[in-house]
Amino acid sequence: MDQTDSCGAMPRMPRIGEPAPPFEAETTQGDLRLEDYAGSWLVLFSHPADFTPVCTTEFLAFSKLYPDFKENGCELLGLSTDSLYSHIAWVRNIESVFGVAITFPIVADAGREVARAYGMIMPEESATEAVRTVFVIDDRQIVRAVLSYPMTTGRNVDEILRLVQALRATDRHGVATPAGWLPGDKVIVAPPRTQEMAEERMKAGDPDCRDWYFCLRTP
């Protein structure tokens, strides 16, 4: 897939709704391809560098919620431009210092092939390291959400889990989710497409309809 801009120079970030760029990469759990995740959701996330404090806190947070991601049919795959041996040493260090095992794989993208394909290198931030990007990729390998954070700011992994849960609820029930939605909360019903449907909705007197365009329901 061509991820270059109109000048053909800088790779661009895949957009929501596009197929995720395929890759084959060396990871801490052997060579993996994007297609290995077909049928499962995937959070592909990059971090700038191993053995750095913000990244370490993020890996601790991802590891803590990994069982929750898996419960939601979603796998985690980390990535940085560090070497495989750096990743292995860092994962071992995290386990010995913090007592936390990192059980999801991490891509060693020293050649930056995956980082470039996903637009993870932002030269204004760093010419060599990936910024903190998150790609939520669905079970059909379509990009469903994209987040980018600067190097200085650790991500909120609860929010990333919530995002996956919200997207899956949307797929299951054909609804949208309001701000701060959490599983179990009411969801938003699609607005009516005609005046007649709007009238009918208002006449129904549903207490969960605040107005013709704003109706909630239990999923």
Partner 1 sequence: MACVKPNGELTTAALEVLTRIASPATDQEVAEAVKRPVHQARAILRELIKAGMAEHDGGLYRATPAGRERLRT
Positions annotated as catalytic residues are: 55
Cβ(1)–Cβ(117) below 8 Å: yes
Cβ distance to partner 1 smaller for residue 73 or 154:
73
Applying CB under 8 A, what is the total number of residues that bind partner 1? Answer: 12
User: 74 — phi, psi (to 5°)?
Assistant: -130, 135
| Among 32, 88, 188, 216, contact with partner 1 (rule: CB under 8 A) | 32
Out of 5, 18, 31, 159, the only residue in the binding site for partner 1 (CB under 8 A) is: 31
In the range 75-94, which residues lie near partner 1 by CB under 8 A?
A: 75
CA distance 202 to 97: 60
CB nearer partner 1, residue 75 or residue 125:
75
5, 16, 22, 39: which one binds partner 1 (CB under 8 A): 39
Q: Is 68 in the site for partner 1 (CB under 8 A)?
A: no
Among 12, 36, 72, 186, binds partner 1 (CB under 8 A): 36
Site membership for partner 1, residue 170 (CB under 8 A): no
Residue among 26 and 58 whose Cβ is closer to partner 1: 26
Cβ neighbours around 40 below 10 Å, total: 14
C-alpha pair distances (Å), 7 with each of 11, 21, 55, 73, 134: 10, 19, 33, 38, 25
The stretch among 1-9, 31-39, 142-150, 189-197 that binds partner 1 (CB under 8 A) is 31-39
30 binds partner 1 (CB under 8 A): yes
Q: What tokens does 29 get?
A: 């759990």
| Residue 39 backbone zone (phi > 0: left; psi -120 to 50: alpha; other: beta) | left
Contact residue for partner 1 among 3, 13, 40, 188 (CB under 8 A) = 40
Site for partner 1 contains 199 (CB under 8 A): no
> What is the closest distance, in whole angstroms, from the C-beta atom of residue 27 to partner 1 in the complex?
9
Q: Is 113 a residue that touches partner 1 (CB under 8 A)?
A: no
Pick the closer one to partner 1 by CB: 40 or 148.
40
d(CA 161, CA 43): 9
CA distances from 211 to 6, 60, 174, 180 (A): 44, 44, 20, 21
**What is the side-by-side order of every strand in the sheet holding 214-217?**
187-188, 214-217, 209-211
Residues that bind partner 1 (CB under 8 A): 29-33, 35-37, 39-40, 70, 75
